Amino acid sequence: MTIKGKAFIVGAYEHPTRKAPDKSIMQLHAEAARGALADAGLSKGDVDGYFCAGDAPGMGAFSVADYMNLKLRHVDSTDTGGSSYLVHVAHAAAAIAAGQCNVALITLAGRPRSEGMATGTAARPGNPGQPEVGFEYPYGLTVANGYAMAAMRHMHEFGTTSEQLAWVKVAASHHAQYNPDAMLRDVVTVEQVLASPMVATPLHRLDCCVISDGGGALVVTREDIARTLSRPLVRVIGAGEAPKFSDGGAIDLTYTGARFSGASAFAEAGVRPADIQYASIYDSFTITVVIQLEDLGFCEKGRGGAFVADGNLISGVGRLPFNTDGGGLCNNHPANRGGMTKVIEAVRQLRGEAHPRVQVPGCTLALAHGTGGLIATRHGSATLIMERI
Amino acid sequence: MAERTYPEPVATPETGEFWQATKEGRLLLKRCRGCSRFHWYPRAVCPHCMSGETEWVEAKGEGRIYSFSVMARAEPPFAIAYVELAEGVRMMTNIVDCPLDAIRIGQAVRVRFAPTQGGGRLPVFAPG
């Protein structure tokens, strides 16, 4: 079975908050859901499928679906970290194609900023039942130094430079200046990135994404329902998912599961990387973008640094406009999970509703890609290709 | 500067022998009797062929740095790394007893055993 053309994204909503000390996580989930349903022109009673991941408190989807008092035929709480919400769109499309639901709601929310979470630099003991814990946690493994080890190896094998990585942040900042909700709206230079404090060599503070409260939601439905609504038609035409792990001790830090999830998505959609007009690329760190672009086939393996340099990711300037909301690096990384906002900005681009200064003219084909978890150990990888019809 | 302290690794029924050996200054690896391949981290079930016939083998304790990152702002600063052992597996570790700014990918390292907070020993690596 293919999901090609079986589902449409009709509602997309990014919660405007970036700091929410006075709201609960459940409240943020529900506010995001309300926003996406209003965007679609649907109501809560229309929802019969619900999708969420590990950011939702409680067992799977139960607590959050109970909070919103949803009446469901289908539920899916697949958790692949920050890439979960791209997986959810693909799973929703499959469930819709199989007749398991008609209107799928996907939500994300969290408050790591208000909770003072040291997302990138604190080692976490995990659950003692996780077999790897004793072989990773005592060494001070963190999100930042895990991605940093991938960056260090990439530099070693391919000659990638800190200046090239910095261009990813520079491009994101050029976009964020037009986003009134973005956490960091100042345009930065390569020199400013390199001058920012070193967090985990070779990654500087400005190579790292923001820590923000917030959330987002999507509504996915059948074509016949989508055509009754007033929103521009955004059709899902390709999807792939491919988690990648430590390979029994043969771990290779130079590539991600995007090599496989991207190939699956492109094959299903019947398009090539060169056809993509806009790309949302997960940007937990600058290196994440470089490696994923290579793995997705936008350039050869090892050439990602050269590809992102000199503004090639800046809308209106470069060949591949990316993360025109400012991405996780400048705009928003709600719940430490950036996959939701990746889909939302791709939908904005396809609808022609991105900020006019970053809107890709005549954008009809877009890609969104997410990496979740830790690139240096175990990560999820999910790719979506969408078209405007 | 503060001495780096290591949390006590949690031994499981699969790894008790490994952590007992580190207390005696030995680094053990698991090798599969079915497919003859080493793996990391040690498991009762081979991650390559799913055989349940895995055996402990003492590693030479030598390897080369596959990648690393220095946490210069941590207190105290430290270097996390993947070391590729002579037996072929890549294991996460720390690089110790050397200037952190002198660490390089490809550098030859040897295992040492750092004391942990609960009286155990953790395998770490140092140049030479």
The pLDDT score that the predictor gives to residue B1 is 55
- Name the β-bridge partners of B110: B62, B126
Name the band, by pLDDT with cuts 50, 70 and 90, for residue B128: confident
Name the band, by pLDDT with cuts 50, 70 and 90, for residue B10: confident
Query: For residues A156 and A287, what is the distance between their CA atoms, to the nearest angstrom?
Result: 13
Q: Give residue-wise pLDDT tens across range A329-365.
A: 999 999 999 999 999 999 999 999 999 999 999 999 9
Distance of CA A13 to the CA centre of its chain: 14
- Would you say B110 and B128 are in contact if contact means Cβ atoms under 8 Å apart? yes
- Name the β-bridge partners of B20: none
Name the band, by pLDDT with cuts 50, 70 and 90, for residue A129: confident
Question: Is B59 among the domain residues?
Answer: yes
Tokens of A15: 């919660």
Which of B14, B40, B78 has its CB closest to that of A248? B40
pLDDT, average across residues A360-387: 97
The pLDDT score that the predictor gives to residue A255 is 98
Residue A126 has pLDDT above 90, yes or no: no
Report yes or no: B81 at the A interface, CB cutoff 8 Å: yes
Please provide the average confidence, as pLDDT, over all residues in chain B: 96
Report yes or no: A84 at the B interface, CB cutoff 8 Å: no
Report yes or no: B26 at the A interface, CB cutoff 8 Å: no
* Superfamily of structural domain A7-115+208-388: Thiolase/Chalcone synthase (3.40.47.10)
Amino acid present at B128:
G
Question: Is B58 among the domain residues?
Answer: yes
- Would you say A343 and A86 are in contact if contact means Cβ atoms under 8 Å apart? yes
B69 and A202 within 8 Å at the Cβ level: the answer is yes
Residues of chain A neighbouring B72 (CB-CB closer than 8 A): 198, 201
Please provide the average confidence, as pLDDT, over all residues in chain A: 97
Question: Is B26 among the domain residues?
Answer: yes
Among A117-126, A153-162, A242-251, which is the least confidently predicted range?
Answer: A117-126
A249 and B41 within 8 Å at the Cβ level: the answer is yes
Residues of chain A neighbouring B69 (CB-CB closer than 8 A): 144-145, 148-149, 151-152, 200-203
Which of B6, B39, B82 has its CB closest to that of A138? B6
Residue B3 has pLDDT above 90, yes or no: no
From the CB of residue A41, how many other CB atoms can be counted at a distance below 10 Å?
14
A141 and B74 within 8 Å at the Cβ level: the answer is no
- Which residue, among A58, A5, A71, has the nearest Cα to A234 in the 3D structure? A5
Q: Give residue-wise pLDDT tens across range B17-65.
A: 999 999 999 999 999 999 999 999 999 999 999 999 999 999 999 999 9
Report yes or no: B23 at the A interface, CB cutoff 8 Å: no
Q: Give residue-wise pLDDT tens across range A207-260.
A: 999 999 999 999 999 999 999 999 999 999 999 999 999 999 999 999 999 999
By CA distance, what is A247's nearest residue in B?
A: B47
Residues of chain B neighbouring A247 (CB-CB closer than 8 A): 47
Domain that holds residue B106: 16-127
Which of B39, B105, B106 has its CB closest to that of A249? B39
In chain A, pLDDT over 70 holds for what percent of residues? Answer: 100
- Name the β-bridge partners of A203: A200
State pTM to two decimals.
0.97
Question: Is B6 among the domain residues?
Answer: no
pLDDT, average across residues A299-309: 98
The pLDDT score that the predictor gives to residue A366 is 99
Instruction: Indicate the number of domains in chain B.
Output: 1
The nearest CA of chain A is from the CA of B116 a distance in Å of 9
Report yes or no: B74 at the A interface, CB cutoff 8 Å: yes
Report yes or no: B89 at the A interface, CB cutoff 8 Å: yes
From the CB of residue A21, how many other CB atoms can be counted at a distance below 10 Å?
10
Q: Where are the domains of chain A?
A: 7-115+208-388
